[in-house]
C-alpha cells in the first residue's frame, strides 16, 4: 500500500512537466552558453547591500494555543504541541541573537491564527497576538534592524480549511486580502518590506497534491493547479490593496517569495530537445508563479499545453490585473524545492545546487528585476550541535554564487537572508533536521540559544560585507637567475627502440639493382664502423625536444630501479647516460630521482625479488637500495647536480596495510645511508646535493572557530611532513619526529643533517578536522584526522582544488619550523586539465601558483630556489601533461607557451619592463651586464664583428703583399761550395718525394 501511495505521489509531481511534445516557449541561452567561468573566490558586495536572517512562525513560536491563538493546519497535521523554539515567549532572546549577527534586517512571518484565531479578518483580532507583533516590530526598529514581514508562511487557519476547503475555494482570495489589509493598517507604518506568501509552489504541490505538507489534501490531479491559481489571485489582490491605499504614506514594497531549483541537460547532450525540457522544468516550478506576475500575466505556454483542461485560465482582464504585482523579485533556494524538483528531472536531466544560474535565469527571463534572496539555506542532521562545520561551507557556497552573479553577471541582488535564525520544529521533518544558526537543546525547558559556528561565520561575513581578499593580489617581480624553472616527470622508461643503426653495419649495399627497390649487399666489401652513439636512441631526441620547447633549464625525472642494477644490461645504463649527456649538451640540468614508486605496478616500482620479500617492511630492501644508489652515483654522478633518493615516502607508506611504522623507518634510513655514501665517496668530485621529495599539500582547519580543528591541522602536518623532516633537519623537533617512528640513538645520529635541500611536491589544499568530529566511514587514519574540501574552491576533473595561497602557507610553515638554512625546491606541482589545447585551468594554475611562490620569496623571505611543473607529457589520456601523449601526436597545449613566457621573463615583470632577463650563469645567481648590453645591441655587434673581420683580412693581404715583394728582390751572394755530406741527404729526400728527375 505504501508503495502505491508513493507511486501516486510521484506521478502527481511528474504531471507538472507533462510529455516532451514540442512546445515553443521562452528559450533560455543559459544551457547553450554557460555562464562565464570565474575563479572569483574573494570580493565584497556593493555598498548598501542588505544582510538578514529569517524565521517562520510555525517552526519557532511554539505556544500553539496560548493567549487565544487558533489552530492552524500545521498544528492539526503534525499534532505538534511542543514549545518548539519558544519564540513567542522568548522573542527578546531571539532579538539578542539577531543583534549578535549584526544583520540589517530580520525576516519573520506572522501567525495568521495568532491574530485571527478563526482566520476571519472581519471579526475582532486577538489583542495578545497583535501586541506581540507590535512589540517585536517596535523593538527591531529600536535596534535599527529592518523588519521584513511575511503575511502567510503556510500556517493556514484550520477553521477556514474545514469550512471552505482552504485554497481550493475561490473566496480565499478575498479572505486573505482582508487579513492582509488589517496587517498593512496595523503594522505598515514601521514595515518597508512585505512578503504576501512564502513559496506557494511547495504549498500547492505538497499541500494539495502529494499530501506531504499540510493540509495533506490528495486525490484530484487538478487540485494543485486550483490552489496555485487562488494563491496567485490572493497575492495580486493584496498587492493592489497596498498599492492603492497604503503605499503613498507608508512607502513600502510588496512581493511574493517564489521557490526554485536548477536543472541541466545530460552532460554532453545539449540538444534542442533537452534544452526545451530544461526550460519546461524551470517553468513548471518557478515559472508557474513568476510568469503571471513578472512576465506575460498568464501561465507559461509549456504548462498550459501539458495540462489543458486541468489548469485554470486567466481572463484577458485578469492577466492585465495580475501582471506586475510585485515591487521586487523575492527568491527562495532551499532543499525542499530542490527535492521536489528532482522528481521533474526526467530524461537524464540533473538537478544542481546552482543558485547563480537561477539568478541569471530570472534576470534574463523577467527583465533584470531587483532581487532579494528571501531564503537560502541547507540543513544538518539532528545530531549536529554547535559545531556545524558543513553548514558553514553550504552557506559559503550559496553566498559565493550570489557574489558571482552580482559581480560577474550583473544580477541586481540587493539582499540576502540566511535561513534560519533558530533550530525549530521543521515542518514535516520535525526535529529530525536542524537549520538554525543558533542551537537549541529541545530536551531543556530553558530553550537556550547557543550560537553555532555557522553563526560566527555569518557574523564575520556580514561585518566584512562579503569575502575580502586575505592575500595580497598580483605582485610584480622577477625570480633571480639561480631560480630553477623546471619540468618534472615520473619514471623515464628505458626506450631502446626506436633505434637508428646508422654507421654500425659494415656491409655495403646497392639499391634497386633488379628494379624491385631492394637493397642488395655487395659481396667482399666491408666498411669501417663506429662505436654505438647516443643518437642511436631516437626517443631521447624526441623527448628532450619537447622539453626544450618549454624553455625549462631544469628537468627532473626518475630512474627505473627494476632496469638498473650492478652487472645488469649495459645498454640500459647507456640509455640513461645518454639522456644525461644530451641534457648537458642542451644546457639543461637534471634532477634525478632514484626511486619513484609506481602505484600501477604490482611491485610498487621495486625489483620483483625485493617486493616478494616484503618490500620496505624488510631491512634487506634498505641494503639493496644503498647498493643501487652507490651504483647510480658512480655511473651517472658526474652528470647530475641534484639527486632525490625517494619520491613521496609519506604516500608510499599508505600502500602497505600493516607495519607502516617499520616502512617509514626503513625509508628514512635508506635515504640517510644513501646520503652518507654520496657525502663520503662522491660529493668532493661531483659536487652535487641529495634530498628526498615529500608530498606536501597544505591543510586548513575545516572550522576556523574551533581549537580542536586547529590542533588537527598541526597534528596532520606533523604526521605528513614533520615526522620525515624532523629527524633529518630537526628545527628543535628531532625528538618529536623520532618518537613518532622509534629510532635508536645511533640511527638518530645517522639521520641528523642528512639533507642538502628541502624538496616538496605540492598540488592542492584540503580542510582537516578531528576524526571524531567527521564520523567518516572506514577505518580510523593513523594521523587521527579526516579531510574534506571547501565546495566553493574551483576543482579539476579529478576534484583537485585550486588553492594557490596554500602553496605559500606550506612554504611558510616549513620556513618557520626549520629555518631558512636549507633551500626549498618545489619539485612537482600541477593540475589535471582535460582540454586538448586551450588548457585554461592549467594556465590559471601555473600563473597563480607561481605568483604565490614569488610572494613567498619576496614578501615572506622563504629561501625558495625552484619550481617544477608536473609533468612534461601525458602518458595516455589528457591529464597533467604540458604535451599530449605520443598517441595524440605530442601536441603542445597552450600552457607551454605561457610557461615559456614566464621563464623568459623570469617571473612577472612590470608592464614598463618586459624585456627578457638574460643571465650569465644560472648557478651563481649573478647577471652578466656585458651580456645584457650585447643582447640589447645585436645589430651594432654584428656590424662591429663584420668590420673587424674585414679590417683583419685587409691587414693580412697587405702583409702578404709586402712579404712577397721582398722575396722577389735579387740578393747578390757569392758562390759557395757544399760539402758532400750536405748534398747527399737532400738528394735522398728529393728522391723520396718524387721531385727529382733523371
**Which residue has cell 566553493?**
792
Q: State residue 134's pLDDT score.
A: 98
Closest CA to 796 of 763, 827, 826: 763
| Neighbouring residues of 689: CB distance < 8 A, sequence distance ≥ 6 | 641, 642, 643, 756, 757
| Neighbouring residues of 787: CB distance < 8 A, sequence distance ≥ 6 | 699, 766, 767, 768, 769
Three cell numbers written together for 587: 644546457
Secondary structure (3-state) at 485: strand
Q: State residue 364's pLDDT score.
A: 94
> pLDDT tens across 796-815, in order?
989 999 999 999 999 999 99
Cα–Cα–Cα angle for 751, 755, 760, rounded to 5 degrees: 120
Strand 43-44 to strand 466-467: parallel, antiparallel, or no bridges (unpaired)?
A: antiparallel
Give the mean pLDDT of 326-334.
97
Tell me how far apart the alpha carbons of residues 896 and 968 are, in angstroms, rounded to a whole number.
Answer: 68
Which residue blocks in 25-107 are alpha helix, DSSP H?
57-61, 73-78, 91-101
Please say if the pLDDT value at position 515 is more than 90.
no
Please say if the pLDDT value at position 270 is more than 80.
no
Determine which of 55-59, 413-417, 532-536 has the lowest per-residue pLDDT on average. 532-536
Give the mean pLDDT of 555-578.
91
**Which residue has cell 643501487?**
628
Q: State residue 41's pLDDT score.
A: 84
401: burial class by Cβ within 10 Å (0-12, 13-18, 19+)?
buried
Q: State residue 980's pLDDT score.
A: 37
Closest CA to 149 of 199, 183, 100: 183
Tell me how far apart the alpha carbons of residues 717 and 631 are, in angstroms, rounded to a whole number.
Answer: 34
**252 close to 188: Cβ distance less than 8 angstroms:** yes
Strand 758-761 to strand 824-829: parallel, antiparallel, or no bridges (unpaired)?
A: parallel
The confidence band for 990, taking pLDDT boundaries of 50, 70 and 90, is very low
Using CA atoms, how far residue 354 sits from 144, 248, 263, 333, 517, in Å, is 33, 38, 9, 9, 67
Determine which of 472-481, 495-504, 619-628 has the lowest per-residue pLDDT on average. 495-504
**DSSP annotation string for 568-606:** S-HHHHHHHHHHHHHHHHTT-EEEEEEE---TTSTTTTS
**84 close to 449: Cβ distance less than 8 angstroms:** no
More confident residue, 918 or 988: 918
What is the residue-averaged pLDDT of the chain? 89
Phi, psi of 550 (to 5 degrees): -70, -20
Q: Where are the domains of the chain?
A: 43-466, 696-755+765-801
> pLDDT tens across 639-697, in order?
999 999 999 999 999 999 899 999 999 999 999 999 999 999 999 999 999 999 999 99
What sign does the dihedral 29-30-35-41 (CA atoms) show? Answer: positive
To the nearest 10 degrees (0 to 180), the angle between helices 172-187 and 127-142 is: 50
Three cell numbers written together for 454: 555557522
> pLDDT tens across 477-502, in order?
999 999 999 999 999 999 887 555 55
Q: Which fold has domain 43-466?
A: TIM Barrel (3.20.20)
Phi, psi of 45 (to 5 degrees): -80, 160
Tell me how far apart the alpha carbons of residues 9 and 15 are, in angstroms, rounded to a whole number.
Answer: 10
Q: State residue 942's pLDDT score.
A: 65
Per-residue three-class SS string for 368-406 = CCCEEEEEECCCEECCCCCCCHHHHHHHHHHHHHHHHHH
Please say if the pLDDT value at position 922 is more than 50.
no
Q: State residue 879's pLDDT score.
A: 87
**760 close to 827: Cβ distance less than 8 angstroms:** yes
Give the mean pLDDT of 916-926.
54
More confident residue, 25 or 479: 479
Which range of 176-185, 536-545, 916-925 scores highest in mean pLDDT? It is: 176-185
Dihedral angle at the C-alpha atoms of 187, 191, 193, 196, nearest 10 degrees? 0
Please say if the pLDDT value at position 410 is more than 70.
yes
- Long-range contacts made by residues 789-796, C-beta under 8 angstroms, separation at least 24? 790/393, 790/396, 791/393, 791/394, 791/396, 791/397, 792/41, 792/393, 792/396, 792/397, 792/400, 793/41, 793/765, 794/39, 794/41, 794/841, 796/831, 796/832, 796/833, 796/841
Please say if the pLDDT value at position 952 is more than 90.
no
More confident residue, 651 or 996: 651
Q: State residue 905's pLDDT score.
A: 94
Q: State residue 110's pLDDT score.
A: 98
More confident residue, 985 or 697: 697
Q: State residue 38's pLDDT score.
A: 75
Per-residue three-class SS string for 189-234 = HHCCEEEEEECHHHHHHHHHHHCCCCCCCCCCCCHHHHHHHHHHHH
**314 close to 32: Cβ distance less than 8 angstroms:** no
Q: Which residues pair with 698 in a beta bridge?
A: 765
| Neighbouring residues of 753: CB distance < 8 A, sequence distance ≥ 6 | 728, 729
Determine which of 10-14, 542-546, 589-593, 859-863 has the lowest per-residue pLDDT on average. 10-14
Q: State residue 212's pLDDT score.
A: 95
**DSSP annotation string for 845-861:** HHHHHHHHHHHHHHTT-
Give the mean pLDDT of 278-288.
93
The confidence band for 978, taking pLDDT boundaries of 50, 70 and 90, is very low
Secondary structure (3-state) at 924: coil
Q: State residue 531's pLDDT score.
A: 64
Q: State residue 733's pLDDT score.
A: 62
Three cell numbers written together for 990: 728529393
Strand 824-829 to strand 519-526: parallel, antiparallel, or no bridges (unpaired)?
A: unpaired
> pLDDT tens across 212-255, in order?
999 999 989 999 999 999 999 999 999 999 999 999 999 999 99
DSSP 8-class letter at 23? -
Determine which of 32-46, 304-318, 977-991 has the lowest per-residue pLDDT on average. 977-991
Please say if the pLDDT value at position 878 is more than 90.
no
**93 close to 113: Cβ distance less than 8 angstroms:** no
Determine which of 272-286, 327-341, 947-961 has the lowest per-residue pLDDT on average. 947-961
Determine which of 119-123, 306-310, 714-718 has the lowest per-residue pLDDT on average. 306-310
High-pLDDT (> 90) share of the chain, %: 72
Could you tell me the pTM of the whole model?
Answer: 0.86
Tell me how far apart the alpha carbons of residues 239 and 247 are, in angstroms, rounded to a whole number.
Answer: 10
Please say if the pLDDT value at position 163 is more than 60.
yes
> pLDDT tens across 77-107, in order?
999 888 999 999 999 999 999 999 999 999 9
Strand 642-647 to strand 589-595: parallel, antiparallel, or no bridges (unpaired)?
A: parallel
Q: Which residues pair with 415 in a beta bridge?
A: 50, 372
> pLDDT tens across 704-714, in order?
999 999 999 99
Closest CA to 473 of 854, 762, 898: 854
Three cell numbers written together for 825: 625546491
Amino acid at each position: 500500500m505504501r508503495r502505491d501511495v508513493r507511486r501516486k505521489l510521484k506521478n502527481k509531481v511528474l504531471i507538472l512537466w507533462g510529455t516532451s511534445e514540442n512546445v515553443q516557449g521562452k528559450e533560455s541561452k543559459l544551457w547553450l552558453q554557460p555562464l562565464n567561468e570565474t575563479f572569483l573566490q574573494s570580493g565584497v558586495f556593493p555598498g548598501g547591500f542588505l544582510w538578514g536572517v529569517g524565521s517562520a512562525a510555525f517552526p519557532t513560536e511554539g505556544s500553539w494555543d496560548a493567549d487565544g491563538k487558533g489552530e492552524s493546519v500545521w498544528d492539526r497535521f503534525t499534532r505538534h504541541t511542543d514549545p518548539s523554539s519558544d519564540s513567542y515567549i522568548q522573542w527578546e532572546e531571539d532579538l539578542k541573537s539577531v543583534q549578535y549577527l549584526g544583520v540589517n534586517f530580520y525576516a519573520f512571518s506572522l501567525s495568521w491564527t495568532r491574530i485571527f484565531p478563526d482566520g476571519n479578518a472581519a471579526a475582532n483580532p486577538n489583542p495578545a497576538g497583535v501586541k506581540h507583533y507590535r512589540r517585536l516590530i517596535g523593538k527591531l526598529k529600536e535596534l535599527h534592524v529592518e523588519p521584513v514581514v511575511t503575511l502567510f508562511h503556510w500556517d493556514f487557519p484550520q477553521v477556514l480549511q474545514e469550512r471552505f476547503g482552504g485554497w481550493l475555494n475561490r473566496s480565499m482570495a478575498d479572505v486573505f486580502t482582508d487579513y492582509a489589509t488589517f496587517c498593512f493598517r496595523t503594522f505598515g507604518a514601521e514595515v518597508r518590506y512585505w512578503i504576501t506568501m512564502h513559496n506557494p509552489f511547495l504549498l500547492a504541490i505538497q499541500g494539495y497534491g502529494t499530501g506531504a505538507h499540510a493540509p495533506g489534501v490528495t486525490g484530484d490531479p487538478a487540485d494543485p493547479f486550483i490552489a496555485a491559481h487562488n494563491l496567485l489571485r490572493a497575492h495580486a489582490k493584496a498587492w493592489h490593496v497596498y498599492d492603492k491605499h497604503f503605499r503613498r504614506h507608508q512607502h513600502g514594497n510588496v512581493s511574493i517569495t517564489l521557490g526554485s531549483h536548477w536543472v541541466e541537460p545530460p552532460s554532453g547532450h545539449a540538444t534542442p530537445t533537452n534544452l526545451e525540457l530544461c526550460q519546461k522544468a524551470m517553468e513548471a516550478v518557478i515559472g508557474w508563479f513568476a510568469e503571471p506576475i513578472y512576465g506575460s500575466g498568464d501561465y507559461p505556454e509549456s504548462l498550459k499545453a501539458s495540462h489543458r483542461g486541468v489548469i485554470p485560465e486567466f481572463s484577458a482582464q485578469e492577466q492585465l490585473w495580475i501582471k506586475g504585482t510585485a515591487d521586487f523579485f523575492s527568491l527562495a533556494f532551499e532543499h525542499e524545492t530542490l527535492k521536489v524538483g528532482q522528481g521533474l528531472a526526467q530524461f537524464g536531466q540533473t538537478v544542481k545546487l546552482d543558485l547563480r544560474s537561477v539568478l541569471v535565469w530570472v534576470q534574463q527571463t523577467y527583465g533584470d528585476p531587483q532581487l532579494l534572496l528571501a531564503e537560502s539555506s541547507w540543513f544538518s542532521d539532528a545530531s549536529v550541535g554547535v559545531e556545524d562545520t558543513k553548514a558553514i561551507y553550504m552557506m559559503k557556497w550559496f553566498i559565493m554564487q550570489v557574489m558571482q552573479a552580482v559581480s560577474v553577471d550583473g544580477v541586481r541582488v540587493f539582499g540576502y537572508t540566511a535561513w534560519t535564525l533558530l533550530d525549530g520544529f521543521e515542518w514535516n521533518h520535525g526535529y529530525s533536521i536542524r537549520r538554525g544558526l543558533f542551537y537549541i537543546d529541545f530536551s531543556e525547558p530553558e530553550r537556550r540559544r547557543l550560537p553555532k559556528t555557522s553563526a560566527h561565520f555569518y557574523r564575520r561575513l556580514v561585518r566584512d560585507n562579503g569575502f575580502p581578499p586575505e592575500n595580497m593580489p598580483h605582485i610584480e617581480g622577477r625570480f633571480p637567475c639561480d631560480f630553477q624553472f623546471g619540468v618534472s616527470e615520473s619514471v623515464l622508461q628505458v626506450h631502446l627502440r626506436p633505434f637508428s643503426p646508422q654507421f654500425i653495419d659494415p656491409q655495403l649495399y646497392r639499391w634497386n639493382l633488379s628494379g624491385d627497390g631492394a637493397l642488395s649487399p655487395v659481396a667482399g666489401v666491408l666498411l669501417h664502423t663506429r662505436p654505438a652513439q647516443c643518437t642511436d636512441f631516437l626517443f631521447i631526441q624526441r623527448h628532450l625536444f619537447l622539453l626544450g620547447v618549454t624553455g625549462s633549464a631544469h628537468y627532473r625525472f626518475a630512474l627505473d630501479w627494476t632496469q638498473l642494477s650492478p652487472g645488469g644490461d649495459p645498454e640500459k645504463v647507456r640509455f640513461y647516460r645518454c639522456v644525461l649527456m644530451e641534457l648537458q649538451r642542451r644546457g639543461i640540468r637534471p634532477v634525478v630521482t632514484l626511486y619513484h614508486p609506481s602505484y600501477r605496478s604490482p611491485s610498487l616500482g621495486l625489483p620483483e625479488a625485493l617486493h616478494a620479500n616484503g618490500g620496505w617492511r624488510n631491512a634487506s630492501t634498505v641494503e639493496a637500495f644503498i647498493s643501487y644508489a652507490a651504483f647510480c652515483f658512480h655511473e651517472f654522478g658526474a652528470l647530475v647536480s641534484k639527486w632525490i633518493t625517494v619520491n613521496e615516502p609519506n604516500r608510499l607508506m599508505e600502500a602497505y596495510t600493516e607495519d607502516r611504522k617499520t616502512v617509514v623507518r626503513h625509508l628514512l634510513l635508506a635515504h640517510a645511508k644513501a646520503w652518507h655514501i654520496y657525502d663520503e665517496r662522491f660529493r668532493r668530485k661531483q659536487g652535487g646535493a641529495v634530498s628526498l621529495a615529500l608530498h606536501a599539500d597544505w591543510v586548513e582547519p575545516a572550522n576556523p572557530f574551533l581549537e580542536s580543528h586547529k590542533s588537527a591541522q598541526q597534528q596532520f602536518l606533523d604526521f605528513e611532513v614533520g615526522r620525515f623532516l624532523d629527524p633529518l633537519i630537526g628545527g628543535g623537533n628531532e625528538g618529536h619526529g623520532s618518537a613518532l617512528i622509534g629510532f635508536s640513538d645511533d640511527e638518530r645520529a645517522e639521520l641528523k643533517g642528512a639533507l642538502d635541500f628541502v624538496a616538496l611536491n605540492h598540488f592542492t589544499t584540503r580542510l582537516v578536522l578531528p576524526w571524531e568530529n567527521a564520523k567518516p566511514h572506514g577505518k580510523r587514519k593513523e594521523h587521527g584526522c579526516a579531510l574534506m574540501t571547501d565546495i566553493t574552491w574551483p576543482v579539476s576533473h579529478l576534484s583537485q582544488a585550486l588553492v594557490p595561497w596554500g602553496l605559500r602557507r606550506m612554504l611558510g610553515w616549513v620556513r618557520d619550523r626549520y629555518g631558512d638554512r636549507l633551500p626549498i625546491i618545489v619539485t612537482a606541482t600541477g593540475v589535471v586539465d582535460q582540454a586538448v589545447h586551450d588548457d585554461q585551468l592549467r594556465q590559471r594554475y601555473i600563473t597563480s601558483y607561481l605568483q604565490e611562490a614569488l610572494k613567498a620569496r619576496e614578501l615572506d623571505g622563504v629561501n625558495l630556489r625552484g619550481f617544477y611543473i608536473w609533468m612534461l607529457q601525458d602518458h595516455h589520456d589528457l591529464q597533467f601533461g604540458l604535451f599530449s601523449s605520443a598517441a595524440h601526436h605530442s601536441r603542445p597545449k597552450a600552457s607551454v607557451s605561457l610557461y615559456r613566457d614566464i621563464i623568459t621573463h623570469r617571473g612577472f615583470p612590470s608592464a614598463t619592463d618586459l624585456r627578457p632577463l638574460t643571465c650569465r650563469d644560472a648557478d651563481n645567481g649573478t647577471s652578466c651586464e656585458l651580456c645584457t648590453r650585447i643582447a640589447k645591441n645585436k645589430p651594432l655587434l654584428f656590424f662591429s664583428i663584420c668590420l673587424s673581420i674585414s679590417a683583419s683580412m685587409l691587414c693580412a693581404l697587405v702583409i702578404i703583399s709586402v712579404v712577397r715583394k721582398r722575396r722577389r728582390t735579387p740578393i747578390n751572394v757569392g758562390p759557395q761550395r757544399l760539402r758532400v755530406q750536405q748534398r747527399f741527404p737532400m738528394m735522398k729526400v728529393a728522391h723520396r718525394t718524387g721531385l727529382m728527375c733523371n
